[in-house]
Amino acid sequence: MSDGLGGCCCCYCIRQTEIGIVEQFGQFKDLKPAGLACVLWPIQDVTARLSLRIQQLDVNCETKTKDNVFVNVVISVQFSIIAAEAFNAHYKLTDPYSQITSYVYDVIRSTIPKLTLDETFAAKEEITHKVVESLQATMNDYGYSISKALVTDLSPDYKVKAAMNEINAQKRLRSAANEKAEAEKIIHVKAAEADA
């Protein structure tokens, strides 16, 4: 018996990559690490098992660049629960996915509109740094550690892509025509020199 209260001793198995939340009469009692956890049921119960593994959330956001091009940005955020802060992770935050998504949207929509399309492609690392910085500042208070954020996709609207490909194709055709004209000019000059 524990705390002078009667009850049946129940054993729970907490897996290697989990931490258990024990409540007594609905109030937080203890954190149980991996291994065997014994509680006095029905007075106490393991009400939750939180995974300590790294989780990934892919956040898809559409925004406009400085040169008025709409781009679709996918940021992959890797995060995990801090074992010592499991209380905060369980009781302070209901939906970490929505919280992380909101902060990622905020960073993307405040950063990319200041950049042109070309600058946006060049600033992927700067964007991920700002996302990690913003998330770490807030999510640590809720018991979450942000491991990494990656820009996994950055693509303009398909019409913009097609126009950019057409511009590049026309540049190559123009360059090829210039090279061909230069070659013909050299042939005519050499032929004129041979006749003279």
pTM: 0.73
Alpha-carbon torsion (83, 85, 91, 97), positive or negative: negative
pLDDT in tens, 42-90: 888 888 899 999 999 999 999 888 888 888 999 999 999 999 999 999 9
- The pLDDT-based confidence of 35 (bands split at 50, 70, 90) is confident
- Would you give the end-to-end CA distance of the chain in angstroms? 117
Measured at the CA of 32, the angle between CA 29 and CA 34, to 5 degrees, comes to 170
pLDDT in tens, 150-162: 999 888 876 766 5
Instruction: Look at residue 128 in the predicted model and tell me its pLDDT.
Output: 92
